[in-house]
Structure 1
Amino acid sequence: MDFNVRRLAADAGTFLSRAVQYTEEKLGQAEKTELDAHLENLLARAESTKHWTEKIMRQTEVLLQPNPNVRMEEFLYEMLDRKVPTRANNHELLGECMIDSGHEFGPGTAYGSALIKCGETQKQLGSAEKEFIQSSAINFLTPFRNFIEGDYKTISKERKLLQNKRLDLDAAKTRLKKARVADARSAAETELRISQSEFDRQAEITRLLLEGISSTHAHHLRCLNDFVEAQTAYYAQCYQYMVNLQKQLGSFPSSFSSNNNQSLASASGGISVPSAPAATASLPLPAPGQASPALNELRSNSGTRKARVLYDYDAGSSTELSLLADEVITVSSVPGMDSDWLMGERGNQKGKVPITYLELLN
């Protein structure tokens, strides 16, 4: 018990001595031992590394999760050592919305089919984003956080000890200057030697830790390369998904003009006027008012022929038949029908189809 009391009294005396020395230094009434220039540079470098590492971490977290509420929720789960619940990201939510609307409009229509394809691609983008976030968190954010919460905390602790040893050293120097009696001067000299030895030892420990910042920079450089590789792979994957989607949507280039013409037709009396798709080198269309020999033969025989659908077509009324590109249907000529139309059949479905969307087969 007596030992503990003496220990407590000694600690209180040391704390008071440091406080007095610190105050006198601030008031300019006491000298201060300066650290060597190399150690000062190492301390400044460590402080700069800590400052910019924290800023890079925060901005990377904002990049990976822009929603501050979600970031706070994830932080709380991490503090409670609980697993963060999985949630759909914005791409996946948009994908689900597009797919649901596509099924509502009908996967057999051009618009519905396009919505479903876009929705599936959005979900792929969402999955790729999750993989990128997970990779970045493990290979980039975690090493940066380990430095802040591990290595730099150790450096800060040793730096504080160095500051205390310096205050003890300068307080011992002050007591030596004030000593007048030989015994007091001898005790002050002994205390000064001990304080100088402890200060030098702590300065060396701190210096060795600070020189490890070079290894930290090298490690963070490797982490940065990993982050760039993950980001490159993520954007390349997203680009490929979008290129594939663009090719799929390009399989029915007439759908947009068809929809526009149907809107115009409904505004002018509900009569659907099919738009003639642009002619291509592989499929020259007959001039207006003229019919191909195969079409003339079909009309003269009043029989049926197989025809391949060139483009998607959305029916403008209940008397028409919606078409999907590349499907094969049965067509026939009906007396009295407009020359731009044929009667199409697909199983039990039957309706008018525009001839400009068809290629008659032999």
Structure 2
Amino acid sequence: MDFNFKKLASDASGFFSRAKQLTEETFLKAEKTELDAHFENLLQRADKTEEHTKRLLSCLESYLQPNPTVRMEDVFYEKLELKKEGSRQNNLEHLGQAMQDGADEFGISTPYGSALNRVAQTEFKLGGAEREFLTNSANNTLLPIRRFLEGDMRTIQKERKILQGKRLDLDSCKNRLKKAKTLESQAVAEADLRVAQAEFDKQVEITKLLLEGIQTAHNNQLKCLRDFVEAQMNFYATAHQHMADLQRELNGVSSTGSNIIPQEEGHNGHFNSYTTSVENQSNENKRLDPGDMGTKQARVIMDYEAVSPQELSVRMNDILIVYRLPGLDPDFVMAEKGGKRGRVPLSFLEII
């Protein structure tokens, strides 16, 4: 192996010179070159950016994948550039599968089996929506932030270490010039000082450019955060819509199931038959005929959060003025409350 002994000796000499200078600065309070205030502010902002970005990345990873074992497995596959075969079911899909198995066991022709089947299908939809949300968040938010830490931030730290070494070389040359006693040694020390000063100034400019680029990184991460919020908003809006649809379907299953409950014969049977007919008649009176365009009062039976600007958020026991409009979805009615107007699902209301 070919060694460059001159370079090796020069590096060793520089290492011991820096170590000596750092020791004198630490214990003997030797003078050292100070950086300007603007540069110091850039360094502090870089440190804060790295600290908070690492914390943000850690929290995002924990949120998107709470299981640390799975996270380590993903890192393992990523480092080895391996591809997973198939995809693991998430919790919602596991729940949906358990309900689907129950529905198959009890039969979807029964009210309970039919309800299990409907809920299972909705859980599968929620699981798919969650998987899409996690994928989008990982690609559009998590990956860019990790690349910033592993790329730009690592380069900045590397250049800062080089700058620290150049600064120690510069101060070491200054000390040698102060201690020089002969003209010859002074001339050598002055030449070394000029070289060290030029290298230090060059490294300062390089590091400064990198530090000023952190503002661009902040702008890029702002876009990542917006993408994350949009993906999260779409996921929750989709989940809310699926659950609202499921609730309407289950209300239909419940009302259908109440008509097929077997009745006892005799006096009790006549009483149950009479009670069922009264309840059905009452429910029919509380429904709003699709062709009825009149204005009515309705009571809210469950809180509802609007998922679009055209809808109205209401709370349980609110009293609303409701009516239909031509072309409106039959599952919705127009509602007015406190001077505000918007659509509300009919399944959340009880006509007074």
TM-score (norm: length of structure 2): 0.74
Residue 82 in structure 1 maps to residue 76 in structure 2:
no
* Greater mean alpha carbon deviation, residues 158-167 or residues 64-73: 64-73
Residue 12 in structure 1 maps to residue 9 in structure 2:
no
Once the two structures are TM-superposed, the CA of residue 81 in structure 1 deviates from its matched residue by 1.1
Once the two structures are TM-superposed, the CA of residue 216 in structure 1 deviates from its matched residue by 0.6
Map of 1:348 onto structure 2 = none
Mapped partners of 2:146, 2:171: distance in 1: 36
Map of 1:207 onto structure 2 = 208
Q: Which runs of 5+ in 1 are unaligned?
A: 266-272, 285-362
Question: Are the equivalent residues in 2 in contact too, given 1:132–1:230 (CA < 8 A)?
Answer: yes
Map of 2:129 onto structure 1 = 128
Mapped partners of 2:243, 2:219: distance in 1: 36
Question: Are the equivalent residues in 2 in contact too, given 1:74–1:84 (CA < 8 A)?
Answer: no
Once the two structures are TM-superposed, the CA of residue 255 in structure 1 deviates from its matched residue by 7.2
Question: Are the equivalent residues in 2 in contact too, given 1:43–1:210 (CA < 8 A)?
Answer: yes
Question: Are the equivalent residues in 1 in contact too, given 2:57–2:142 (CA < 8 A)?
Answer: yes
Residue 116 in structure 1 maps to residue 124 in structure 2:
no
* Greater mean alpha carbon deviation, residues 97-106 or residues 72-81: 72-81
Question: Are the equivalent residues in 1 in contact too, given 2:144–2:224 (CA < 8 A)?
Answer: yes
> 1:280 and 1:51, CA in 2 relative to 1: closer, same or farther beyond 3 A?
farther
Q: Deviations over 1:244-276 (max 9, x none)?
A: 1011001033578799x98xx9xxxxxxx6772
Matches within 5 A, 1:325-336: none
SS at match of 2:253: coil
- Alignment RMSD: 2.4
> 1:258 and 1:180, CA in 2 relative to 1: closer, same or farther beyond 3 A?
farther
Q: Deviations over 1:261-312 (max 9, x none)?
A: 98xx9xxxxxxx677272445747xxxxxxxxxxxxxxxxxxxxxxxxxxxx
User: Given residue 4 of structure 1, which amino acid in structure 2 is its aligned partner?
Assistant: N
Question: Are the equivalent residues in 2 in contact too, given 1:159–1:206 (CA < 8 A)?
Answer: yes
Map of 2:180 onto structure 1 = 179
> 1:282 and 1:158, CA in 2 relative to 1: closer, same or farther beyond 3 A?
closer
Matches within 5 A, 1:1-362: 4-85=4-85, 86-254=87-255, 276=276, 278-280=279-281, 283=284
Mapped partners of 1:161, 1:56: distance in 2: 28
SS at match of 1:251: helix
Once the two structures are TM-superposed, the CA of residue 142 in structure 1 deviates from its matched residue by 0.8
Question: Are the equivalent residues in 1 in contact too, given 2:111–2:254 (CA < 8 A)?
Answer: no
Map of 2:301 onto structure 1 = none
Mapped partners of 2:37, 2:257: distance in 1: 72
User: Given residue 203 of structure 2, which amino acid in structure 1 is its aligned partner?
Assistant: Q
User: Given residue 39 of structure 2, which amino acid in structure 1 is its aligned partner?
Assistant: L
User: Given residue 67 of structure 1, which amino acid in structure 2 is its aligned partner?
Assistant: N
Mapped partners of 2:284, 2:225: distance in 1: 53
Q: Which has the larger radius of gyration?
A: 1
SS at match of 1:108: coil
Q: Deviations over 1:313-343 (max 9, x none)?
A: xxxxxxxxxxxxxxxxxxxxxxxxxxxxxxx
Question: Are the equivalent residues in 1 in contact too, given 2:115–2:253 (CA < 8 A)?
Answer: no
Percent identity of paired positions between Structure 1 and Structure 2:
50
Question: Are the equivalent residues in 2 in contact too, given 1:21–1:171 (CA < 8 A)?
Answer: yes
Once the two structures are TM-superposed, the CA of residue 45 in structure 1 deviates from its matched residue by 0.6
Mapped partners of 1:196, 1:99: distance in 2: 75
Mapped partners of 1:256, 1:61: distance in 2: 45
User: Given residue 236 of structure 2, which amino acid in structure 1 is its aligned partner?
Assistant: Y
User: Given residue 160 of structure 1, which amino acid in structure 2 is its aligned partner?
Assistant: K
Mapped partners of 2:90, 2:179: distance in 1: 71
Mapped partners of 1:185, 1:283: distance in 2: 106
Map of 1:345 onto structure 2 = none
> 1:169 and 1:92, CA in 2 relative to 1: closer, same or farther beyond 3 A?
same
> 1:17 and 1:203, CA in 2 relative to 1: closer, same or farther beyond 3 A?
same
Q: Deviations over 1:45-102 (max 9, x none)?
A: 1111111111111111111111111111111111111123410000001101101101
> 1:186 and 1:239, CA in 2 relative to 1: closer, same or farther beyond 3 A?
same
Query: Number of residue pairs matched?
Result: 276
User: Given residue 25 of structure 2, which amino acid in structure 1 is its aligned partner?
Assistant: E
Mapped partners of 2:229, 2:161: distance in 1: 37
Map of 2:316 onto structure 1 = none
Question: Are the equivalent residues in 2 in contact too, given 1:78–1:84 (CA < 8 A)?
Answer: no
Question: Are the equivalent residues in 1 in contact too, given 2:102–2:113 (CA < 8 A)?
Answer: yes
SS at match of 1:51: helix
User: Given residue 40 of structure 1, which amino acid in structure 2 is its aligned partner?
Assistant: E
SS at match of 2:181: coil
* Greater mean alpha carbon deviation, residues 1-10 or residues 195-204: 1-10
Once the two structures are TM-superposed, the CA of residue 119 in structure 1 deviates from its matched residue by 0.4
